[in-house]
Chain A
Amino acid sequence: MSAASQETAVSTGRVTRTFIYLVLLLFALYYLLPLYVMVVNSVKPLPEITGGNMMSLPQTFTLEPWLSAWSTAQIGVEPTGLKPYFINSILMVVPAVAISTVLGALNGYVLTKWRFKYDGIVFGLLLFSCFIPFQIVLIPMAVVLGKLGLAGSVPGLVLVHVVYGLGFTTLYYRNYYAAFPTELVRAAMIDGAGFFRIFWRILLPVSGPITVVSVIWQFTNIWNDFLFGVSFGGTRQPMTVALNNLVQSSTGVKEYNVHFAGAILAALPTLLVYIVAGRYFVRGLMAGSVKG
């Protein structure tokens, strides 16, 4: 009896497991399919695609579409390729991520270790900013940027993204530092370290996991943003807007292979950030969210 039931248990397990793996495999394929289509078609000459063979591997391999997308493709009216816009995006995203992360860390530090009257309300308001939709602030933001003389410039975009990201980065760091022992800060105070020295020497060295979370989150959001880019970018529009202009252009032949290559180029930096820092992401997210 017992031997028989043991055997059924094993065989049931095997069947279930096979089923689970099959389903997982299916979903993996399903999710990878768009990437496959993009990669495969970005290295085909255009006639192969218009010939109706989207799914097949390329018969003639060419990097021409990539070069075209990067440096010669028609973006709007200028045949510049995506390159200048890619540079715009980099010039926007790097300072925006850096500033919003540093400010978020400082906010979290103050809100947990240098408590003041009504700090809860301040934090609540910052948290509230996470829930404001982009569209609502477009017009007030345009007014502010205009008054500051930053309209249609990269620094203007940096400012918009810093302001918008601050709520999230503050939330991350506040929750992370809430679990950080206050006695350490007090010990450092007695040792003679000041406000910034404590932050720099005591808290920052242990902030790795939450910094990864903040950087990934901010980088992905800012890089992928379209609305602020198209509204406030002016002549210095980011990659997302240029990609739209490339793909949506209504004159001439639709160069699908170039579009695919351009789309991959636009997605590449975020992909890279995920691959490099991804394994710390979940760890940091848990560390920040569970406690506090």
Chain B
Amino acid sequence: MGFLDIRNVTKAYGNVQVLHEVDIEVEEGEFLVLVGPSGCGKSTLLNMIAGLESITSGDIAIRGRPMNGVHPSKRNIAMVFQSYALYPNMTVAQNITFGLEMHGVPKSERDKALAEVAKLLQIDHLLARKPGQLSGGQRQRVAMGRALVRNPDVFLFDEPLSNLDAKLRVDMRTEIKKLHQKLKTTIVYVTHDQIEAMTLSTRIAVMFKGYVQQLGTPKEIYDQPANLFVATFMGSPAMNILPATVVTENGAAHAEITDAEGAPRRLRFSQQAMAQWAGRKVLLGIRPEAITDPEGADRKSGNIQQLRNRVTVTEPAGSDTFVTMTLSGKDVIARMRADANVVPAQVFDFAINMDKAVAFDPETEARILA
């Protein structure tokens, strides 16, 4: 039994099932990120943990204490909202201590807790201000202060960074991570941003259409996506997906694809077991960073396949150069070093790290476990 248990939880509004049998165990001190596109049910699940939405069936327990039907204020949780939800008529200090006041904590203790949190978040100088007089980043800090001051069992974050501009978002992301490392609190964090999910979490639950598609560490999610949705949702640019046919050559399984001219090309699979799929169609998934120039290829990889192909477009992005080519009739993006000598419309030798390649069953869209 975990610290926060979500067991077979479902949610339905009338006949519309928005969450199907979610089953997650969160350990103490874990940073769980629920990620998915809008409408996938991630915020609903968070609200159910918070007690703001009822549970249709299943159980939620915190520290072994069942939470079904328990009022939000009695769950010992704290939540940071997307809009921060700071009370506009109260000062920062009043905002932070409102929850303690409601729980009947004496004034002297409230002041002590406030001072601690203010120091931790470096908002001492803002305590007398109203939320309207704060910048976005400062509001974010106050919202976190309001959550921290209660010293709750579980922190819930509902897309807390999506109202900030790009630069501040990256800064605050680091802040949140630092805070988590320092305080070792249990956090459930909802976002639609896969980079936030990857960077912050100890575990990720990728959600889509009310199902948890995959639950795992960021590395598992990235390197061994459970299905096509997880593969394409996580990572930017997205994983390249190409139709391919599995063939065997000298006893080894290969993926047969076509190059820009339509000529068949073969890439040897690292996974021997792919031979079981010989003669069948699969979807080959290759991450952009697994396609490089030969000099930039991963030296630790045991299976670099060279492929000569025509370049369609190059997009220098400063740190990397993105190169587009056509394989099996699809646009394929490769991530090269910034100084890779690639010229559009010319042929180029690409190095494909097949250790990192995955294959999906075109019918079930599940990853082929080989």
Contact = CB atoms under 8 A, between A and B. Distances in A.
Interface of A: 181, 183-184, 186-193, 197, 201-202, 205-206
A66 B83 CA distance: 58
B3 interface: no
A190 B89 contact: no
Contact of B102 (A183, A193, A206): A193
Chain A interface, >50% SS class: helix
A187 B73 contact: no
A183 B73 contact: no
Interface residues of B, number: 22
A192 B102 contact: yes
Contacts of A188: 87, 98
B51 to A, nearest CB: 8
A201 B98 CA distance: 10
Interface in B92-129: 98-99, 102-103
A205 B87 CA distance: 10
A189 B52 contact: yes
A187 B102 contact: no
Nearest to A204: B89
A205 B77 CA distance: 26
B102 A186 contact: no
A187 B89 contact: no
- Chain B CB within 10 Å, residue with most, of A181, A187, A197: A187
Nearest to B81: A183
Interface string B143-176: 0001000000000000000000000000000000
B50 interface: yes
B72 A183 contact: no
A192 B73 contact: yes
Given A183-B81, A183-B82, A197-B102, A190 B72 contact: yes
Contact of A186 (B78, B81, B103): B81
14 contacts: A181-B83, A181-B85, A186-B52, A187-B81, A187-B146, A188-B98, A189-B52, A189-B73, A190-B50, A190-B52, A193-B73, A201-B87, A206-B88, A206-B89
A210 to B, nearest CB: 15
Interface of B: 50-52, 71-73, 77-79, 81-83, 85-89, 98-99, 102-103, 146
B98 A190 contact: no
Nearest to B97: A191
Contacts of A205: 89
A190 B88 contact: no
B79 A190 contact: yes
Contacts of B85: 181, 183-184, 186-187
Contacts of A190: 50-52, 72-73, 77-79, 99
A191 B52 contact: no
Contacts of B77: 190
Contact of B83 (A183, A189, A191, A192): A183
Contacts of B102: 191-193, 197
- Chain A CB within 10 Å, residue with most, of B72, B85, B86, B103: B85
Nearest to A187: B85
Contacts of B50: 186, 190
Given A184-B86, A189-B71, 16 more contacts: A183-B82, A186-B72, A186-B85, A187-B79, A189-B73, A190-B52, A190-B73, A191-B99, A191-B102, A191-B146, A192-B103, A197-B102, A201-B87, A202-B87, A202-B89, A206-B89
3 smallest A-B Cβ distances: which pairs?
Answer: A192-B73, A192-B102, A191-B99
Contact of B73 (A181, A191, A202, A206): A191
Contacts of A192: 73, 99, 102-103
A192 B82 CA distance: 20
A184 B83 CA distance: 9
Contacts of A197: 102
B44 to A, nearest CB: 13
A181 B87 CA distance: 10
Nearest to B89: A205
Contacts of A181: 83, 85
A176 to B, nearest CB: 14
A209 to B, nearest CB: 13
A199 B83 CA distance: 20
B81 A191 contact: no
A185 to B, nearest CB: 9
A201 B83 CA distance: 19
Nearest to B158: A183
B310 to A, nearest CB: 52
Contacts of B73: 189-193
A118 to B, nearest CB: 14
A188 B52 CA distance: 11
A181 B50 CA distance: 18
Contacts of A201: 87, 98
A188 B99 CA distance: 8
Contacts of B89: 202, 205-206
A181 to B, nearest CB: 6
Contacts of A202: 87, 89
A190 B77 CA distance: 8
A197 B79 CA distance: 19
A113 to B, nearest CB: 12
A287 B120 CA distance: 39
A193 B51 CA distance: 14
A205 B83 CA distance: 19
A191 B146 CA distance: 9
Nearest to B77: A190
A2 B83 CA distance: 54
A184 B81 CA distance: 9
A184 B52 contact: no
Contacts of B79: 186-187, 190
A192 B75 CA distance: 10
A136 to B, nearest CB: 39
Contact of B98 (A183, A186, A191, A206): A191
Given A189-B73, A191-B98, A184 B87 contact: yes
